[in-house]
C-alpha cells in the first residue's frame, strides 16, 4: 500500500465506543430492491455483501419508520416488529464481512408519493407543496407528530434487536425532518414552528427519542448518526447560517457523527457571497472535536479522499464510487489503485452485483453516474 493513503486505513473509535477498522463509510443509497412489503431481498443482500468487505461501516438505504412515510417503491421497512427478521438478515450480511452495519431511518413527509401511502395523503410540517406540480401535504396534527417521534424510537429498537451496530437519522435531502427545519415547508404557528429555535424542536426531539431508546435497549455500544443537508435553494429556505446554528445544537447531543449530504465535498455555499470555502469544512470548523463529521461528495480516487481528509474531517463516505467500484478499499490496500473504476459500463451489472431496479435507475437517470457506452 502507498503510504500516502495510510490515514484512510487508520481505525476509528466513535464517541459511543464502537470502533471501525478504517475511515471509509458506504454512504446510504436507495436500492429500490426490497419486496413490495418492505422485506430485504436476496439480490439486495448480495449487493451489500459485495460492498461491505472493505469499508469500516455501511449505512443502508433508508428504511421507513411508518407506512405514512414511505418514499420509494422497493423501499426497506422498519415500521413493524414483523420486519426484524428481514433487518437481521441485512445486518448479518454486512457484519459477516467485517464492517459495522448502520440502519438509516427515515420519513418522507411531503416527498412521499401518494400512491405508496395507505391513505394516498402525504403529510408535512405545513400544507405547503414542494413545487407547483407536487401534491399538497396535510399539515401534521399534534398526535401525528408524537406518533412519528415514537416511530423513530421504535425503528431504533428494531435495529437494536436485529443486531445492527447503529442507526443514522435521515434529516437531509428535503425529507420530513428537514421539512420541519426549513422555513419553506414549516409555516406553523404553534410550538413546532416559527423561529429557527422552534423549527429545530422536531428534529432534536427525534434525536432525544432515539438516544433514549438506545439507552434503554442497547446492551453494547451503539452508533447514532445524523445526516443533514446544509442549504436549500428555495426562498425562504435553509441557509448555511441556519445549519451552523443547528449543528452547534447537535454537537451537544449524544451523537456519534454528523453526516453532511452535499453533491461535492469542496463546494462552497450557493446562497452566500463568499463561496470559496467548503460547506463541510465550515461545519467541521464550527463543531471542532465535539462531534465527528463525515464528509461526502464526488470523491472517487484515493488521492481525492486523502486530500479531503487533510482538512481534518475524520471520516469519508463514498456512495456512487462504491457502486462503480465495490472493492475500492481492497484495491488500495493491495497497491492496485490504478485499477479503481470511476466510470460505469452498461455491461457491468452482473460483475458489480447491482439489483435490476437500481441498475435501471443508474442507467436511466442521466448524470447520476458517468456511463461509458
At residue 272 the predicted structure's pLDDT band, cuts being 50, 70 and 90, is: confident
Q: What is the mean pLDDT of residues 259-285?
A: 94
Name the band, by pLDDT with cuts 50, 70 and 90, for residue 373.
low
Q: Compute the average pLDDT of residues 99-119.
A: 98
Which of 21-30, 31-40, 55-64, 341-350 has the least mean pLDDT?
341-350
Vertex 304 angle, CA 344 and 28, to 5°:
60
* Grid coordinates belonging to 80: 413493524
Residue with cell string 457506452: 373
User: What average pLDDT is seen over the chain?
Assistant: 97
Q: Cis peptide leading into 122, omega within 30 of 0?
A: no
By three-state DSSP, how is residue 305 classified? helix
CB atoms within 10 A of CB 291: 22
For the CA atoms of 177, 179, 183, 186, the dihedral, rounded to the nearest 10 degrees, stands at: -100
pTM for the whole structure: 0.98
Overall average pLDDT of the 218-233 stretch: 98
Q: Domain boundaries in the chain?
A: 3-372
131-153 per-position pLDDT tens digit: 999 999 999 999 999 999 999 99
* Residues composing the chain: 373
Mean pLDDT across 240-249: 98
**pLDDT tens per residue, range 70-87:** 999 999 999 999 999 999
Q: What's the rounded Cα separation, in Å, for the pair 108 and 232?
A: 17
Contacts of 173 (CB under 8 A, 6+ apart): 229, 261
Handedness of CA 343, 227, 290, 9 (dihedral sign): negative
C-alpha cell recorded at residue 300: 472517487
What is the pLDDT, as a whole number, of residue 369?
87
pLDDT band of residue 104 (cuts 50, 70, 90) is: very high
Q: Is the pLDDT confidence value at 103 over 80?
A: yes
Residues 286, 315 contacting (CB under 8 angstroms): no
pLDDT at 274 over 90: no
CATH architecture of 3-372: Alpha-Beta Barrel (3.20)
Spatial distance between the Cα atoms of 272 and 131, rounded to a whole number of angstroms? 23
**Where are the extended beta strands (E) located within the chain?**
12-13, 19-20, 24-26, 57-59, 63-64, 76-77, 100-106, 123-124, 138-139, 166-171, 223-228, 257-260, 293-295, 315-318, 344-345, 371-372
Say if CB 316 and CB 296 are below 8 A apart: yes
Q: Which of 113, 26, 43, 110 is nearest to 72 (CA)?
A: 113
pLDDT in tens, 294-315: 999 999 999 999 999 999 999 9
Q: Is there a contact between 279 and 285 (Cβ–Cβ < 8 Å)?
A: no
Over residues 158-198, the pLDDT tens digits come to 999 999 999 999 999 999 999 999 999 999 999 999 999 99
Q: Are 222 and 169 in contact (CB under 8 A)?
A: no
Over 70: is that where the pLDDT of 69 sits?
A: yes
Amino acid at each position: 500500500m502507498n503510504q500516502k493513503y495510510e490515514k484512510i486505513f487508520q481505525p476509528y473509535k466513535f464517541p459511543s465506543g464502537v470502533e471501525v477498522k478504517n475511515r471509509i463509510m458506504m454512504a446510504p443509497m436507495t436500492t429500490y430492491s426490497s419486496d413490495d412489503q418492505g422485506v430485504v431481498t436476496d439480490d439486495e443482500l448480495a449487493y451489500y455483501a459485495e460492498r461491505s468487505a472493505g469499508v469500516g461501516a455501511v449505512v443502508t438505504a433508508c428504511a421507513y419508520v411508518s407506512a405514512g412515510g414511505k418514499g420509494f417503491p422497493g423501499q426497506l421497512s422498519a415500521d413493524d416488529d414483523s420486519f426484524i427478521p428481514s433487518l437481521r438478515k441485512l445486518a448479518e450480511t454486512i457484519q459477516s464481512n467485517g464492517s459495522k452495519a448502520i440502519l438509516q431511518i427515515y420519513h418522507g413527509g411531503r416527498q412521499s408519493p401518494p400512491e405508496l401511502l395507505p391513505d394516498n395523503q402525504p403529510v408535512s410540517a405545513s400544507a405547503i407543496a414542494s413545487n407547483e406540480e407536487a401534491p399538497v401535504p396535510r399539515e401534521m396534527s399534534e398526535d401525528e407528530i408524537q406518533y412519528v417521534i415514537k416511530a423513530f424510537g421504535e425503528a431504533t429498537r428494531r435495529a437494536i434487536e436485529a443486531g445492527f451496530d447503529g442507526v443514522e437519522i435521515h434529516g437531509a435531502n428535503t425529507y420530513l425532518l428537514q421539512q420541519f427545519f426549513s422555513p419553506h415547508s414549516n409555516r406553523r404557528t404553534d410550538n413546532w414552528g416559527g423561529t429557527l429555535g422552534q423549527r429545530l424542536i422536531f428534529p432534536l426531539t427525534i434525536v432525544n427519542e432515539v438516544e433514549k431508546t438506545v439507552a434503554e435497549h442497547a446492551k453494547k455500544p451503539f452508533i447514532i448518526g445524523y445526516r443533514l443537508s446544509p442549504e436549500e435553494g428555495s426562498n425562504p429556505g435553509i441557509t448555511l447560517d441556519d445549519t451552523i446554528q443547528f449543528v452547534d445544537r447537535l454537537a451537544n447531543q449524544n451523537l456519534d457523527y454528523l453526516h453532511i449530504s452535499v453533491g461535492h465535498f469542496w463546494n462552497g455555499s450557493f446562497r452566500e457571497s463568499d463561496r470559496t470555502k467548503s460547506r463541510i469544512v465550515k461545519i467541521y470548523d464550527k463543531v471542532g472535536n465535539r462531534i465527528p463529521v463525515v464528509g461526502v461528495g464526488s470523491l472517487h480516487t484515493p488521492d481525492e479522499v486523502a486530500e479531503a481528509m487533510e482538512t481534518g474531517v475524520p471520516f469519508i463516505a463514498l456512495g456512487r464510487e462504491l457502486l462503480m467500484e465495490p472493492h475500492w478499499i481492497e484495491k488500495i490496500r493491495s497497491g492496485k489503485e490504478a485499477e479503481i473504476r470511476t466510470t460505469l459500463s452498461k455491461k457491468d451489472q452482473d460483475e458489480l452485483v447491482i439489483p435490476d431496479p437500481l441498475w435501471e435507475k443508474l442507467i436511466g437517470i442521466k448524470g447520476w453516474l458517468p456511463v461509458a457506452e
